[in-house]
Amino acid sequence: MHIGYDIDGVLTKRDYTHVSRFGVQGLIAFFQTYFPQVIKRWTLSQPLQDNIEIAQKISRKHTISVITARPASFRRYTAQWLKNVAKIEYDHLYCVGLKNGFSERKLKVAQDLEIDVFLDDTKETIELFEANGINAHKFETWEEVKIYLKTL
């Protein structure tokens, strides 16, 4: 099975896509320009969801594509975080950016990759995926995801 994971709010406990996108984009641009080490430290120190071991096991048994609204400039640090902190094995990593329309960009990537199911914490993204024929599931806990995947 080809499974897509979002990162923030799914693999991590934080989801910054729900705050003002303009505010987040402005802060990101400011820190990238003047304090790039802050961006590196922030990207590499995201707290893991509880029971992340379930996601790690799933990633060893299935094709995994990580599709996140993080900016492309975060890709290198995000890959390090996935490998060294989350310990998630994955086949593809896409950072589509926080600008307006990130759900649509995530959908386009998922369609191109022919993902079977996508896990996200954003209701709007889930609804968009479902409306376009991709099985999507709103993330609550990894225990619940484990049960959900068994029913597919």
What single-letter DSSP state applies at residue 82?
I
CATH architecture for segment(s) 2-151: 3-Layer(aba) Sandwich (3.40)
pLDDT digits (tens, 9 = 90+) for 38-64: 666 666 667 899 999 999 999 999 999
**pLDDT at residue 22 in the model:** 47
Domains of the chain, residue spans = 2-151
Q: Please count the residues of the chain.
A: 152
> Residue 63: helix, strand or coil by DSSP?
strand
CA 101 to chain centre: 15
- pLDDT 10s digits, 50-99: 999 999 999 999 999 999 998 898 899 999 999 999 999 999 999 998 88
- Helix-strand-coil split of the chain, %, nearest 5: 55, 15, 30
Coil/strand/helix, residue 58: helix
